[in-house]
Amino acid sequence: MRPIKWRQAGRRAARGFSLLEISLVLVVIGLIIGAVSIGKDVHRNAVYQRITSEFVQGWLLAYDNYLAGTGVAPRDDVSAPTGCVQESCATAISTPGTILCDTDLRNAMLAAGIGLPAGRAEGREDRYAYLDSNGLPHDLKVCFRNVRWSEPGAASGSYVERSRNVMILTGLTPALAGYIDHYFDTVIDARFGNVRQSDFAASAGTARQPWNRDERDDIASNIGAAHDEDQVVEVTAYMKMFR
């Protein structure tokens, strides 16, 4: 009978993974992480699509239906229309018109027989809860107001301020703001188009302006210093109404 070589058997049992085996494991782990990341992005874009097409578009439709039904902007004077929300027109950037929000907005629409988007819940149709890229909650809110708005002037390259009714969207993450901007204007630009960052809505500049915050910034205004556990910074958008 041939004797067993215990030392050699022990060496085989203790043999580690080869470089090829380790590489294959790392590739599989990378694919799993990539799939999870892609899945999160797909889900987030689906949420953004729903917010834009159902909530934001729903409030645009509610505004248009109010105009069609009453002939004036929300809470304007029917007997002597000013053309401005709350019959309050902006006279300067620093003095916008009276804002229409919360219960006053909901009651104005319901009193005119206007149906409201589903929103967050009954009685909170002006709000929509969603998660940012770090998985933390935000509360999107709709209001209406008359503000100063930059538009092309008579001379080429010139801009003038005019009084315009807008939908105000607060509680936007930069990613959601960019999605809404691109959805309605086909380009992401905080200064031009029908969707603008509130800081640049009345700007007379001629150069395009990116949204001045991004997903790397946190809610505490730390620019470029957000961590995974931080709530992403919020921005405010204005969307111009046609009347």
The residue extents of the domains of the chain are: 18-240
Residue 146 contacts residue 161 (beta carbons within 8 Å): no
| Minimum mean pLDDT range among 26-30, 101-105, 178-182 | 26-30
At 2, the pLDDT band (50, 70, 90 cuts) reads low
Whole-model pTM: value is 0.83
Mean of all residue pLDDT scores within the chain: 89
At 39, the pLDDT band (50, 70, 90 cuts) reads low
At 218, the pLDDT band (50, 70, 90 cuts) reads very high
pLDDT of residue 29: 67
Task: Name the residue with higher pLDDT: 167 or 226.
Answer: 167
Buried b (16+ CB within 10 A) or exposed e, 36-64: eeeeeeeebeeebeebbeebbebbbebbe
The fraction of the chain above a pLDDT of 70, given in percent, is 85
pLDDT of residue 65: 97
At 226, the pLDDT band (50, 70, 90 cuts) reads confident
Q: Scanning the structure block, which residue is given the tokens 């645009």?
A: 60
Mean pLDDT confidence for 98-121:
96
Q: Scanning the structure block, which residue is given the tokens 């809404």?
A: 180
**Residue 115 confidence (pLDDT) above 70:** yes
**Residue 140 confidence (pLDDT) above 60:** yes
